[in-house]
Chains A and B, each alone.
Chain A
């Protein structure tokens, strides 16, 4: 290195740079700004990831559907007493009754009205219709007993997918003796197996109590916050407000504490434990029977017989002690249903297949029967109307504004209008549709025609703006060349400019249509939110569309609809991705840069 000639304020480049100019501080400021930027991008990415992830996670639950295979006797009396073999008569048969008979026959041990109802709910209410269709197609089956695959209900399906937790075995060491007395049973084991169960249940109670105490502690915090606020309150009004809040927090805290104490007392009590809805169910499976424990102490247990074992059981070495993850109050599937489903499962009568039904069925109130084909077709008709209206009108308007319009206040006004329409909230277009398309023109409500007209008005500004941009990008030399050989302005436009601009116009149109495909609010306004089972066959049938279907399903209380909502979103997004991919391909392959 040569000698350093330190000059001016700025020091030498390699010598005292650290101190010069506060450079370290300034570089740190730069690093901070950069970090903010990276954080912002990461946050946006995280949001996208969480959104797509949660949708796909939900959708995974709708990938398969479960079936239950049962023997069903197709009694001629119930179906076709006169042996006509006519499908129309067969379809009128009492297949609902036959389905119930099949379930009853498979589980004779389930008695009592509510238990029976739970049993029937194991298969879907739509299964009987499928049985009817199957028999109508094969009239020769009448009078026979066949093995039929019944569609499982949403509850069964969710249980099989583990949505209500699993059935977990507890260790058994001793030998079991069961004394049966009608619906009741008394159980004893040679080892302390039931004491172990008792310990597990008590632990759960202690855990629950702990959770309640944590919540009570939070309320207690709130109480002290409000107390200080009251002490510092400036006026009576604020004090009264805080007082009310304080009272609420106190009551809540005391209720939680009382509940926690009750649970703790229950846990501390070393005596017998009554098993109710609040604790996890415990089953004993032995000798082909199912017993549900109702009362438990260290030495033995009392139980309710769900399915009687084959005869009395004494000194049995092979037996299972099972417990659920959730108490009965916290799950949709009942103890009886668990027993039924587990029995069917061990009899290999349950199978799961890919859920094709979801892609071919219309809407339904039963989640296991609901599909999106109806909404997909509805979307297709709506988009067809949108395209047929918006594309020609949009292109024509763009051509006029770009090629023919004189520059005057009127065309300026049109331009301002178009720009503003592009930013009008979509729900306003819904109101417009309600008032004008339905109210004034009398187009039927809920019809793709009405939806398509509203969407066309909404998409029009997008198409016009995109089309104008591409038309304006066609260089004037091409127009001059055409005009120079004697073509009229209209000929120039339609023979030369428009074909050159077409790929760009199509790209813009597809992007506008993709946005319309995902639009929900205006269609809700014009009544496309109705419950429609049938697949629409034309533009004047009542219909719904994919995004509205998503909205409807997301509003239903059944848990199985959450999965279907997720799956419907995936289908919608696949269509959007496809449309955008087409737009990108069009742009890459045909669009020219002038």
Chain B
């Protein structure tokens, strides 16, 4: 039994008058890929953004309930979201490299968090992250060209490398492949499988095949409820809830 990273109890999220998430209870394990699936607008992305408090940047968003990371309440008054986000990295739906060089993109996190003492340290971190992001070979000769000049798949892997460079404990991925072609997608999926060795990965995905391919555990969200949560194999072969079954067999979605 692996260790529990995140544990959510009775989480409710409101956007203004809209009740987006209802009584979500879930436990996310370390060194595991956990997939959130469900139809559009079911709350899976919203929940993901609760895990590193990205919702804080939206004025009208209100979160209640308790989410703990390693047993500490991340919504505690004294928790600094900046520190939390350093521990819980995130990769977004659309590749969003900064308009800087490839090197500066990756070095951004280590720099602001003061992870490197010297330039050489930083070089090491950048190379290691780019290697782990499976993009080193493609960019090693153009480290000082703008990251925005890469292809979509490369950009997304650059963003993953950028997230890894801060050395987070958990990596959140919000539909990381939705803007990519099938080849780039399979590269990212391989990468996710690699990352599992060191991190707890939470991935939101639209594609059930992808969830089945990369994840060990799956959570199915529907209309703001967490309907079912369990081993990926079990969810896809013998779902307990009829709604999960309908979704997986393509009747709702």
Physical contact A–B (CB less than 8 Å): yes
Question: Hey, which bits of chain A sit against chain B, CB under 8 A?
Answer: 1-5, 7-14, 17, 20-23, 26-27
A13 touching B79, Cβ below 8 Å: yes
Segment with Cβ contacts to A, from B33-41, B83-91, B218-226: B83-91
- Given A1-B71, A9-B167, A14-B76 contact (CB < 8 Å): yes
Is B212 an interface residue, CB under 8 A from the partner?
no
User: Complex Cα distance A3/B79, Å?
Assistant: 17
Chain A CB within 8 A of B169 CB = yes
A14 and B78 within 8 A (CB):
yes
* B82 adjacent to A23 (CB under 8 Å): yes
Which residues of chain B are within 8 angstroms of A17 by Cβ–Cβ distance? 78-80, 83
Tally of A-B residue pairs with Cβ under 8 A? Answer: 61
B72 located at the interface, meaning its Cβ lies under 8 Å from any Cβ of chain A in the complex: yes
Q: Are A13 and B84 in contact (CB under 8 A)?
A: yes
Q: How far is the CA of A9 from the CA of B89 in the complex (A)?
A: 14
Is B42 among interface residues, defined by CB-CB distance under 8 A? Answer: no
**Chain A residues, CB < 8 A from B78:** 14, 17
Complex: A14 Cα to B115 Cα, angstroms: 20
Among residues 37 to 94 in chain B, which have CB atoms less than 8 Å away from a CB atom of chain A? Answer: 68-74, 76, 78-80, 82-84, 86-87
B 171-203 contacts with A by CB, 8 A = none
Partner of B71, one of A5, A8, A27: A5
Interface centre among A7, A10, A14, A26 (most CB of B within 10 A): A10
Interface residue B9 (Cβ < 8 Å from any Cβ of A): no
B residues touching A (Cβ–Cβ < 8 Å)? 68-74, 76, 78-80, 82-84, 86-87, 112-115, 167-169
Contact A23 B71 (CB under 8 A): no
Evaluate contact between A26 and B82: CB separation under 8 angstroms.
Answer: yes
Q: By DSSP majority rule, is chain A's interface helix, strand, loop, or mixed?
A: loop
Please determine whether A7 and B169 come into contact, CB atoms closer than 8 angstroms. Answer: yes
By the criterion CB–CB under 8 Å, are A3 and B114 in contact? Answer: no
In the bound complex, residues from chain A placing their C-beta under 8 Å from that of B84 are 13
* B83, A3: Cβ atoms closer than 8 Å: no
Give the complex CA separation of A11 and B83 in angstroms: 9
Which residues of chain B have C-beta atoms less than 8 A from A14's C-beta?
Answer: 72-73, 76, 78-79
A321 to B155, alpha carbons, bound, how many Å? 91
Add 11 more A-B contacts to A10-B83, A10-B87, A21-B83 (CB < 8 A).
A2-B71, A4-B72, A10-B169, A12-B72, A13-B79, A14-B73, A21-B114, A22-B114, A23-B80, A23-B82, A23-B83
Task: Kindly provide the distance from the CB of B84 to the nearest chain A CB, expressed in whole angstroms.
Answer: 6
Contact A10-B71, Cβ < 8 Å, known A17-B78, A21-B114, A22-B114: no
**Which residues of B sit under 8 angstroms from A13, Cβ to Cβ?**
69, 72, 74, 76, 79-80, 83-84, 87
> CB-CB < 8 A to B69: which residues of A?
13
- In the assembled complex, the CB of B40 is this many whole angstroms from the nearest CB of chain A, namely 26
Closest to B112 in A: A26
